Amino acid sequence: MAYGTEALVPVEVGLESYRTEVYNVETNSFGLRANVDLLEEEREASHQRNMKYLLQATQHYDSSIKKRSFGVGDLVLRELAASMLAKQRKLHPNWERPYKVIEVVRPGTYKLETLTGEAIKST
């Protein structure tokens, strides 16, 4: 739409075409008002389609993830970014030494200690 009417190709302006012959101001404005009335419904339908797409994309990418859980006594590596305040450089390692799990707080959250028995403050 352009300025309240449908856009015409420049060729249609100079030549007779079905669209230019059938054009009626009243029916066009009635159609535009009807489009405005249906705008909220179109937005809602679009939102629903977007949510469905996001759910399908999430399910697709999550299907390749293998769920892992650790128990007390397991040895794990800790992400280096969790213990460093500054951003790592490109060639630095991503993981630091093995730690021992001493408590499972909730799935995916663990309390750790070093192999010498020193507890790590931040889980």
- Predicted TM-score (pTM) of this structure: 0.46
Confidence of residue 47 (pLDDT cuts 50, 70, 90): very high
> Residue 100's closest CA among 83, 122, 117?
117
Confidence of residue 11 (pLDDT cuts 50, 70, 90): low
pLDDT digits (tens, 9 = 90+) for 13-45: 667 766 667 777 777 777 777 777 788 888 999
Strands 75-79 and 109-113, sheet pairing: unpaired
CATH fold of 67-123 reads: SH3 type barrels. (2.30.30)
pLDDT digits (tens, 9 = 90+) for 77-111: 888 776 666 666 778 788 888 899 999 988 888 89
Per-domain residue ranges for the chain?
10-62, 67-123
CA distance 14 to 115: 85
